[in-house]
A = this chain, B = another copy of it.
């Protein structure tokens, strides 16, 4: 497989995780009108599956009971606009899908200026931003406009409202799933969401980076099995859990929720509810060594699908490694969260950190010294035979690794303890295992 003419192809090693390639995929997905159900989700998954043919699509009927929730009717929109008293189109869904409140019911009538105003949403503090507003679980209609736009809608008269939408009780909720089989049944879980219309960091960065991570995982046989889902946020996570949580609770050793992984302003970490799972330890280790100025949130700052995955009784080890966290950047949940907020460098940096997290999970083990006392490394060519004041410096990490290889501490814990990145120890532990100085447990 080679990159297609859009430059967004994958599975070729050189393009996996390439920021520009990921940005191009985000650009292609950007215009689609996604919501928690509907054809926008299907189209998004279809494009992703061009890059990830192993992805399977699943449909769950509207009305299905999922944990404490009901899958809502499927929503699709053909057109939506507002005409002013002169028949001029002053708000147009086709210009920006954020103009329509998500899940707006069908409307075809005229309203007064006053009634129109009750259905408009804008942000006085961000006068050039269209806000993102939804009403999934109560029937409403509305339009979102910039404050500047709204300030021009002052003329008394009849405004024509057309919302050519459908709320189909016989519809479906759609999600994508990919199981990458590893040597072990134990699983690592990756979740990202595909339910926001045209917004780039808080949406498209997640599925795009996840697509590339999945392709990277597929380049070779892995130790762990990977469960990767592209779902609508909240209702999709709940739906997926309602169908899979027993096996997930049994097998999942680590997991990440992928969201807001596209800007290049910061790195952020939000722990699992437990706070000390393998996912948490690995992410803190990787960020601590590669981006020590990362922002460390607490679970009280949560706001995405860890709310479901980490809920009491579900308790999956799911943390979030992000660039700038949702809700903590000005453009969040507005039309300003566009493809200038998300950059190739932003996507590439997030990919690198998350790939490193998965590499650490794959390489983690509890090394055990195979000899009692220090091994005689000199006769194996692993230690200088001339002893001077400085002999030990060059082999310090190796000696420290051996000194803590008690079969109880994990390689990650040893790396934390001796203060070096785990990825510096991986080649050393492999060499020592080959020399039968350490055994892998």
Contacts and interface: CB of A to CB of B under 8 A. Distances in A.
Contact of A313 (B300, B303, B372): B372
A376 interface: yes
A419 B123 CA distance: 31
Contact of A314 (B245, B300, B373, B400): B373
Contacts of A108: none
A371 B273 contact: no
Interface string A132-159: 1111111010000000000000000000
B372 A136 contact: no
Nearest to A418: B300
Contacts of A371: 67-68
A386 B135 contact: yes
Contacts of A375: 68
Nearest to A437: B68
A372 B314 contact: yes
B67 A385 contact: no
B376 A69 contact: yes
Contact of A400 (B300, B312, B378, B387): B300
Interface stretch (A45-53, A277-285, A402-410): A402-410
Given A369-B313, A387-B135, A303 B392 contact: yes
A306 B68 CA distance: 49
A388 interface: yes
A-side interface size class: 35 or more
- The interface residues of chain A, by DSSP majority, are classed as loop
A403 B70 CA distance: 20
A133 B388 contact: yes
Contacts of A140: 385-386
A254 B376 CA distance: 27
A365 interface: no
Given A379-B137, A403-B273, A418-B300, A311 B374 contact: yes
A299 interface: yes
Contacts of A70: 376
B241 A385 contact: no
A142 to B, nearest CB: 8
Interface of A: 67-70, 102, 121, 131-138, 140, 234, 237-238, 241, 245, 273, 299-300, 302-303, 307-308, 310-315, 327, 332-333, 368-369, 371-376, 378-379, 385-389, 392, 399-400, 403-407, 418-419
Given A273-B403, A273-B404, A312-B404, 14 more contacts: A69-B376, A132-B389, A241-B372, A245-B372, A299-B403, A300-B418, A302-B403, A312-B368, A312-B403, A312-B406, A312-B407, A313-B406, A314-B373, A327-B389
6 contacts: A68-B375, A140-B385, A311-B372, A311-B373, A312-B403, A333-B388
